[in-house]
Amino acid sequence: MTTQNQDSFANYVASSIKVALAEDVGPGDLTAELIPVGQQVQARVLAREACILCGRPWFDEVFRQLDASITVDWQIEEGDRAVADQLICTVNGPARSVLTGERTALNFLQLLSATASTAHDYVEAISGTQATILDTRKTIPGLRLAQKYAVRIGGAQNHRIGLYDAILIKENHIASGGGISKTIGTALQLSEDVLVEIEAETLDEMQEALKAGAHRILLDNFSTDGLATAVRLRDEMAPDITLEASGGITLDNVRAIAATGVDYISIGALTKDVKAIDLSMQFEW
């Protein structure tokens, strides 16, 4: 990561935490006022289930913004696998500030570890195939870049970040743009540097998109037999065009989908249906 990218990432994390703390703490933590001023505490964060750890920058930033005297001692690196009951880190500092930051810090660590863990599970499921697991835009509002970061930590890759960095032509775009070929042609003229992808629901639509020169074709809810046929047709007609499978993909069927020879498999569940990893913070007074 370049220095400029590091600064941009740090600014994004800091901004995310500023919003989250304003939402949770507001003008002040009333309950924390019950704790004597100056009392120190050590808190231990434990994994209650196996996971891929993700979210350390957000966790650290919570306590940095609340109280710079708080220290976090990590026992596991970002992206490492934790097992149940493993010590993740210890937090030391003023008890009031640690208690105030507990929930916000854990929220980020639990959510992003869940996204990374889900991505890792899908990547492992297709190990040895040529396919790549991608995320989608089905993210928690306001946390897209954080979740897409977690997807990468889990070993998968990002699809487009938003509507501004790639073109994905879907049914309504085709209907209003004059059909598959015409819409692809228009899209290709917009920029030479932007991915132009189109969604196809049938083999006929896919073949028209191949002839029109789309960079990638998204095969929406195709059966495994349909995907295999699509790969064969692509190899015969336009081998440089990549194919992406999407829709109805689970851990149970993802390997069979990858085995058809598609290049990419996009899965909304990586970011949309995540269940927070069970982590707990235990205080030692």
Task: Quick: pLDDT tens for 74-96.
Answer: 999 999 999 999 999 999 999 99
Per-residue confidence band for 285, with pLDDT thresholds at 50, 70 and 90: confident
* Confidence check: pLDDT of 1 > 80: no
Q: What is the pLDDT of residues 154-174, one digit of tens each?
A: 999 999 999 999 999 999 999
- Domain residue ranges in the chain: 3-123+274-284, 127-272
In the chain, what is the greatest distance between 2 CA atoms, to the nearest angstrom?
Answer: 74
Where is pLDDT greater, at 126 or 2? 126
Give residue 254's pLDDT.
98
Give residue 2's pLDDT.
66
Q: What angle do CA 81, 159, 164 make, to 5 degrees?
A: 135
Average pLDDT for the chain = 96
Give residue 189's pLDDT.
93
Annotation: CATH topology of 127-272 = TIM Barrel (3.20.20)
Annotation: CATH topology of 3-123+274-284 = Aldehyde Oxidoreductase; domain 3 (3.90.1170)
Give residue 178's pLDDT.
93
Cβ-based neighbour number of residue 182 at 10 Å: 12
* Confidence check: pLDDT of 3 > 70: no
* Confidence check: pLDDT of 28 > 90: yes
Q: What is the mean pLDDT of residues 116-142?
A: 97
* Confidence check: pLDDT of 145 > 80: yes
Positions annotated as catalytic residues are 103, 138, 170, 199, 220
Per-residue confidence band for 119, with pLDDT thresholds at 50, 70 and 90: very high
Structure tokens at 87: 């010590």
* Confidence check: pLDDT of 107 > 90: yes
Q: What is the mean pLDDT of residues 216-223?
A: 97
* Confidence check: pLDDT of 278 > 90: yes
Give residue 6's pLDDT.
83
Nearest partner of 254 among 265, 244, 263, judged by Cα: 265
Angle (deg, nearest 10), helices 95-125 and 56-66: 170
Q: What is the mean pLDDT of residues 30-51?
A: 96
Cβ-based neighbour number of residue 234 at 10 Å: 23
d(CA 185, CA 201): 19
Give residue 40's pLDDT.
97
Q: What is the pLDDT of residues 8-22, one digit of tens each?
A: 999 999 999 999 999
